[in-house]
Amino acid sequence: MHHYFVSHASADNPQIKPFLAAALEHGLKLWFDRPYDLPLPETAFAGYIEEGERWTTEILTALAGACGILYFPSAASKVSDECRLEIALGATFALYCPFKIVPIFLGAGSSQYLDARVTTVQGRRFPIETGAAGEFVLASGLEPQLTSFFGMLERHARDFQASERLPPILDRLMTARRQFDGAPGRQPQQVPPAARDLFGALADRYRTAPDWQTRRDLDGQITGSRRDYRLQDLPNPADLDEAAGMAAAMSIASTNADDDPDSLASVLTGLFHHPAARVRFRAADALQKRVQARRLPRERRPDVLGVLAAANALEKNPEVARAIRLAVDSIASTG
């Protein structure tokens, strides 16, 4: 079962501790950065940042294996760079898979401190009060609500399957198919009907494939159908626009900080979905060079890190994944 990432400000540890203790008692798997600061036993958590590890890399890894974020908004979290980064990463990751960001309101008025990225996300309120010894405790009478809420989170964690990288092969397939059928001097009937039907069936199956292994097998069948039916005029979907992709990736390194920074995240998103691994590698490498040259505005870093988080989680090529992590480290270490 996947874990939930806990996004919070350290100043709120006393307030969130009773909720986390109740969640752990129910059996939820939680990733918490420093459980020894609560304090709660480290062994009770699915993961945490061990001494000597880089927090950005650990957060990236934790989010990659999470099914969602339990987010505790507060005045302290509103001004926390770490919290803003975590929500930015989670919001971007949610674009690629059924990833939940669940705001949990403990203190009065905490909803006013929601990150702007999740103001339209439904949260849940669980009031806290002061116990006999002066510590924070969950308000009495919440047990039925907590049981129902934790049950919902548990079902989501159990059913969650992170979406794999979905390169735009399907659109490219269908575009190439239309171009082939409508090419000058070539009539659709000249293409064997069985080839067109098989090509369309493979494209439909690719769209609904449940995992990346299935898509990989379908890529092989698509290539085989081209060979078997002598459709050599039809571009191989794995190689379409590779030259353009490489050019776009390399241009990232030379783009100035003031050259339309808002488009950088969307450009990177497209490049990291390119079917060619060398394009994805070049995009990560060029981004690292841009960061090292200090041409990535500070205000754009959370969005770019969000794209990198999603790309890292979904990347299957180890060399590309390593290049992505190096880009993350470059951003984290740049003042």
Express each pLDDT in 75-118 by its tens digit.
999 988 788 878 877 876 676 567 889 999 998 888 899 988 78
Q: Pick the last residue of a domain from 199, 228, 257.
A: 228
Question: Percent of the chain at pLDDT above 70?
Answer: 69
Rounded Cα gap, residues 130 and 138, in angstroms: 8
End-to-end CA distance of the chain: 37
171 pLDDT tier (thresholds 50, 70, 90) = very low
Residue 17 sits in a domain whose CATH number is 3.40.50
CA pair distance 120, 114, nearest whole angstrom: 10
Residue 188: CB partners within 8 Å, gap ≥ 6?
Answer: 181, 182, 196
> Based on the domain organization, do 15 and 137 belong to the same domain?
yes
Residue, of 281 and 261, whose pLDDT is higher: 281
Give the structural domain span for 87: 3-159
Among the listed ranges 32-46, 69-83, 123-137, 230-244, which one has the minimum average pLDDT value? Answer: 230-244
Q: Is the confidence at residue 7, as pLDDT, over 90? A: yes
* pLDDT (average), residues 248-267: 65
Same domain, 152 and 179: no
**CB distance 128 to 138 below 8 Å:** yes
Verify that 224 and 139 share a domain, yes or no: no
DSSP state of 113: G
The mean pLDDT of the chain is 76
Do 134 and 40 fall within a single domain?
yes
Count of H-run helices and E-run strands, the chain: 13, 7
Instruction: Report yes or no on 234 lying in a domain.
Output: no
**136-138 and 128-130 beta bridge pairing:** antiparallel
CA distance 76 to 165: 35
How do residues 304-325 score in pLDDT, each as one tens digit?
887 787 677 667 888 998 898 8
The pLDDT assigned to 276 comes to 84
How many domains does the chain fold into? 3
Q: Are residues 47 and 180 in the same domain?
A: no
pLDDT for the residue 198: 55
CB-CB contact of 245 with 280 (8 Å): no
pLDDT range class, residue 211, cuts 50, 70, 90: low
* β-bridge partners, 103: 71
User: Under a CB-based contact definition with an 8 Å cutoff, are residues 62 and 309 in contact?
Assistant: no
